[in-house]
Structure 1
């Protein structure tokens, strides 16, 4: 007859496994081990991939313990552990002021560009994508960094000019409001504000309604 072995049921997947599949999630856990290694691996992956969380909590809500590096290394599959190590390295490198992430959305790599602003063109060592170290964007082909700065300044000035011409700030809450035709009696669209004012002179329409058009500013066409 073959050797007998003991089994247990995982409280997460409700499947029966050999007891060797059950390991304490952390060395600090004081409760019985009730989750299989497969479920713990899925838990680690979910915390890393979905939450970007490096402090992996125990699956038992009442436990409140978190897994340290050795705990994860003791349980995680090879590919999960490799991803955890890569993420730790990226976090460490991310603290270096010369570090930049690759701008290729499909890459996910990053590197230190030690030559900095003196040589702003970066080429990703993983995928070859070129990016600008100075502006932290895809490389602006046919434009120097100074030329790119000028374009950005012009775009920002044009945007501000458009805001000044087409919108005004509510005198009460400050939210920008666009006038789409109609009369100059405006009501703020923010439900918690609903301030009423004159589009031309920003006068309070409650005072105008109560006291007449002399409460418009004297420079306003509605002043009387």
Structure 2
């Protein structure tokens, strides 16, 4: 049976700064396909449009109105101040001797007629109390009159600067509340009306820990997650605790909310993000370490990061060479020193000089051949220099080199993701060409899916380097680095296949499809193995993280 959307809010006081906690639920949770392994992080979430939440707000206000006899508009105002909890409103309402005493605690003026609807007075001619022009004026029951332009300017400014959906009359010291219905009438353009609707809905979203706005640009959807049941048990010693998580009983907050965990959710706009921190999905690193990593990268970007990202030492003579125009896709061939431009996501580079044709790794500038062998170690940081360091200067330099090792690889996969976003557009053109040559839609989708798999692996690899930066070396980290190496090598091989020229007329597409699908399956398997190992290490407390850095 569905619960009411507002059920389960906690709170004992009227203080609007207290934490809000809801286990709500008046909106049915859509059932995701459990067989889809990739969608499992979002299998219990629902994507909601603002209209659905607006309907739910009005439903809660109407239900409350039917019980206490207030107008729905006054109920919305009271619910806003009580974190949209119908239960708390009813409890506090009936604790007071009169409705007027109940409303006085909000430090707002409410009429004695509790069925009163906040509305504007009929327009009349007069002097506006803000601009002092002779215009048609309107106002609330308090009698303070302003022109429509000043009303709009006042409300628009207040809603943008102080996102409270129920503001007061512009007159200083006046406590008359501007209701939501009259606010919509006094706002004169559609953009401000839409913004106000979001402010009103946001007051509800922020009071429910199961709801969160999608962080994608220009997306107005809200993500709602469900949660498993938990129950209270009481020991003979009279200690009451949660049977599921063994903590003290935390009703009405469920275990996942009592111990918030980062998890992936996906909006209808295809943006996948972390429900806890609202950054893009960042497994295997957790939100706290990711926050430290982002801050460190930001703090160091003006000095060593900039120099390292925009210059390279010649592998032969060690002269520092600045990349042309500060771009991130220029380097020099380690063998013949001809300028090389990186125009794709693949890190397997081949010098275009016909007299050289040297194959090397963009990341470490070493020969490419070892990257396909058993002793590939491009992803590993050599700690020997740090162990040999004696002076403070040498230790600082070793620490910097260690950080740059991981930052360079993090940034390199980040840049490759940008290249591969362009690769998706190129692949879509190829798909259109293939469909124009009698290939069916279903026969060409393997290319689209392969780029999506490639992007997932790139993003996972990117965050493994932030994760690895904070790891203390032990036997388990060696396994992690092996898994990271295998995924990185497989990802580069898939990238190389996808970036090669595909000619629908001359290529055997059956062979190409089999090759791409095999590599996709292998690279995704390596990704799952790496993530599973990281998760098992967390569950078994095998990872030891550096506190400094």
TM-score after normalising by structure 1: 0.50
Counterpart of 1:102 in structure 2 is: 214
SS at match of 1:89: helix
Q: Distance in 2 between matches of 1:115 and 1:88?
A: 23
User: Alignment partner for residue 63 of structure 1, among 174, 177, 181?
Assistant: 174
Q: Distance in 2 between matches of 1:72 and 1:150?
A: 49
1:9 aligns with 2:96: no
Q: Distance in 1 between matches of 2:193 and 2:176?
A: 19
Change (3 A) 1:59 1:84: same
**1:50 CA displacement:** 1.3
Counterpart of 2:503 in structure 1 is: none
User: Alignment partner for residue 266 of structure 2, among 83, 101, 123?
Assistant: 123
**1:96 CA displacement:** 3.2
Counterpart of 1:138 in structure 2 is: 280
**1:98 CA displacement:** 2.8
SS at match of 2:193: helix
CA contact (8 A) 2:211 2:223 kept: yes
Counterpart of 2:194 in structure 1 is: 82
Change (3 A) 1:48 1:149: same
Q: Distance in 1 between matches of 2:179 and 2:170?
A: 14
Structure 2 unpaired stretches of 5+: 1-123, 228-255, 257-262, 283-455, 473-543
Counterpart of 1:114 in structure 2 is: 225
Counterpart of 2:164 in structure 1 is: 53
CA contact (8 A) 2:166 2:180 kept: no
What pairs up with 1:172-191 in 2 under 5 angstroms? none
**1:89 CA displacement:** 1.8
SS at match of 2:548: helix
Change (3 A) 1:134 1:41: closer
TM-score after normalising by structure 2: 0.23
User: Alignment partner for residue 548 of structure 2, among 158, 161, 164?
Assistant: 161
1:73 aligns with 2:184: yes
Structure 1 unpaired stretches of 5+: 1-5, 163-224
Q: Distance in 2 between matches of 1:71 and 1:23?
A: 11
Q: In the comparison of the two structures, how many residue pairs are matched?
A: 146
Counterpart of 1:214 in structure 2 is: none
Structure 1 segments, 4+ long, off by >6 Å, are 146-149
CA contact (8 A) 2:265 2:273 kept: yes
Change (3 A) 1:148 1:89: farther
CA contact (8 A) 1:99 1:110 kept: no
CA contact (8 A) 2:164 2:203 kept: no
Change (3 A) 1:65 1:136: same
Higher relative contact order (CA 8 A, sep 6+): 2
**1:82 CA displacement:** 3.1
**1:124 CA displacement:** 3.0
User: Which structure: greater strand fraction?
Assistant: 1
User: Which structure: greater helix fraction?
Assistant: 2
Counterpart of 2:138 in structure 1 is: 23
Q: Distance in 2 between matches of 1:39 and 1:52?
A: 19
